[in-house]
Amino acid sequence: MANPLPTFSVPSLGSATRRTPIDLTAKDNYTPDNEQIVWNPDRSAILGTIKRGEELRGFELAGPRAKLFFDPSETRAAIVTCGGLCPGINAVIRSLVLQLWHRYGCTDVIGIRFGYHGLGRVPPEAAMHLTPEIVSQIHMQGGTILGSSRGTPVVNEIVDSLAAAKINVLFTIGGDGTMRGALAIAEEVQRRGLKISVVGVPKTIDNDIPFVRRSFGFETAVSKACEAIHAAHVEAEGVENGIGLVRLMGRDAGYIAANATLATGQVNFCLVPEIDFEIEGKGGLIDLIAQRLSRRKHAVIVAAEGAGQKFFQTGTGEVLRDASGNPKLGDIGVFLKERMQTLLKQRFAHGVHVKYIDPSYIIRASAADPADQLFCARLAQNAVHAAMAGKTALLVGYWHGRMTHVPLAALGNNRQRINPDGELWFNVLETTGQPTKM
């Protein structure tokens, strides 16, 4: 059977012949291009691959190269931030600038205002010259000093703008839509025969980009989500038949909801997009909540925003989409609140008290916590190493504890999602006590 994995070969602009200004104590400390971490490091998988005579598939390791493609003193770098806000964007911007300036001596760094839409204008609209002084404290702020936007303008216009502004390196900070745009930009750059490196730093608060075990902002999001769950638990315990309902981010993947559920230990029902559930009927959500209230007089429910979207289907088959191409979601939080108030009122003489909390925008606008600050710095530093070596059409990933290069072409339209039969969801079921099927 053919190997279903995509190729993990990373494109390059050409031979790297310039000596790096980064002076490491030993030659072996530079990362060679042929060093990889295998896609599946399980012993049985490795032995099976060898036994079948197949090549071990893996990701190129990130890190400083001994030779560069670009001359740092003649290189102009640009940074663009796209999509929704996420903790840590400013920390990534800061680390990119500091790495370019202080480690490589590349002092011509500009920030593109308002995402791809700003980049699509010639010249790039209101580009900011970024210096270490300008970015020195921005990592303590939420949001992005560059502004953002959703959607990608005509790629030809973006490449026209890059060429007109004499940009050699473009760093794109964003989610799956941003990375699809980055790939299209890199392909158009290649078609024109230009020497522009395009390197992505994955930003997805939902942690759902494939081949990337962890994205920046996720740790902060889980921490802030835990605060909302604690508040919901306090509110639920404060009244008879109290229900604390928390709606969290997670369009297609429920990682924030699942991890916050495990971290707090206070959630009785966790609803995620990957697991189907019913509202009514024996063994449905309402029935299970009623049983919980009869026993304990309170309940806490966490719902990822993409959970239960079947309840909003109209039957026409038409799917409304936002500027990034994502399907517009029905509000599962408000829906559940109204259904619980209506259906549970019939079961309890004194009614129920639903306290609804949606901390989404508070979380998105937060500054990164220390763990994410460290992770943002590592991602940015390795993005600069890759770009200066002339690598392109890639994002900096994280796989089994190592920073990697993931070719953008390998992403496709895939999303990383919770495995209903995997360890994470099993842990959620053990922690909440909810049944496997609702």
Q: 64-110 pLDDT, tens per residue? A: 999 999 999 999 999 999 999 999 999 999 999 999 999 999 999 99
Verify cis geometry, omega within 30 degrees of 0, for the bond prior to 153.
no
Q: Do 166 and 296 sit in the same domain of this protein?
A: no
- Does 293 share its domain with 406? no
- The segments of the chain whose pLDDT lies below 70 read 1-5, 26, 122-125, 315-326
Q: Is residue 93 part of a domain?
A: yes
Q: Strand 169-174 to strand 269-271: parallel, antiparallel, or no bridges (unpaired)?
A: unpaired
Same-domain check for residues 358 and 272 = yes
| Spatial CA neighbour of 274 closest among 253, 248, 257, 246 | 253
The reply to whether 185 and 143 lie within a common domain is: yes
What pLDDT shows up at residue 3?
46
Do 98 and 135 form a contact (C-beta atoms < 8 A)?
Answer: yes
Task: Please give the pLDDT value at position 151.
Answer: 78
The burial class, CB within 10 Å (0-12 / 13-18 / 19+), for 313 is: exposed
Tally Cβ neighbours within 10 Å of residue 323. Answer: 12
Which pLDDT score, from 0 to 100, does residue 1 have? 37
Q: What is the pLDDT of residues 369-387, one digit of tens each?
A: 999 999 999 999 999 999 9
Residue 331 lies in a domain: yes
| Chain centre distance of CA 202 | 6
Q: Concatenated DSSP letters for 85-149?
A: --TTHHHHHHHHHHIIIIIH---EEEE-TTHHHHHTSSSPTTPEEP-HHHHTTGGGSSS-TT---
Residue 156: count other Cβ atoms within 10 Å of its Cβ: 14
Q: What is the CATH number of the domain that holds 326?
A: 3.40.50.460
Closest CA to 221 of 259, 191, 251: 259
**How many domains does one find in the chain?**
2
Is 314 part of a structural domain of the chain? no
Decide: residue 194, CB within 10 A, 0-12 exposed, 13-18 middle, 19+ buried: middle
Residue 12 lies in a domain: no
433 lies in some domain: no
How far from each other are the two terminal CA atoms of the chain, in whole angstroms? 37
330/17 Cα distance (integer angstroms): 54
424 lies in a domain? no
Give the model's pLDDT for residue 207. 78
**Residue 81 and residue 208 in one domain:** yes
- 251 and 180 part of one domain: no
The three-class DSSP label of residue 206 is coil
241 and 348 Cβ atoms separated by less than 8 Å: yes
Range of the domain at 35: 18-215+368-410
Question: What is the model's pLDDT at position 230?
Answer: 98
Regarding whether 109 and 42 lie in a shared domain, the answer is: yes
Which residues are designated catalytic? Answer: 206
What is the pLDDT, as a whole number, of residue 325?
63
How many angstroms separate the CA atoms of 223 and 245, rounded?
17
The confidence score (pLDDT) of residue 324 equals 58
Q: Do 51 and 95 fall into the same domain?
A: yes
- Is 194 a domain residue? yes
pLDDT per residue as tens digits for the range 2-35: 446 678 999 999 999 999 999 887 677 899 998 9
For the beta carbon of residue 95, count every other beta carbon within 10 angstroms: 24
pLDDT at 323: 58
Nearest to 169 by CA among 179, 182, 151, 156: 182
42 and 98 fall within a common domain: yes
> Which of 9, 429, 416 has the alpha carbon at shortest distance from 215?
416
Contact 181, 157 (CB under 8 A): no
Same domain, 53 and 103: yes
Q: Based on the fold, state whether residues 127 and 254 are members of the same structural domain.
A: no
Query: Do 300 and 186 belong together in one domain?
Result: no
154, burial (CB in 10 Å: exposed 0-12, middle 13-18, buried 19+): exposed
Q: What is the CATH number of the domain that holds 83?
A: 3.40.50.450
429 assigned to some structural domain: no
| Triad 69, 165, 204: Cα angle to 5° | 75
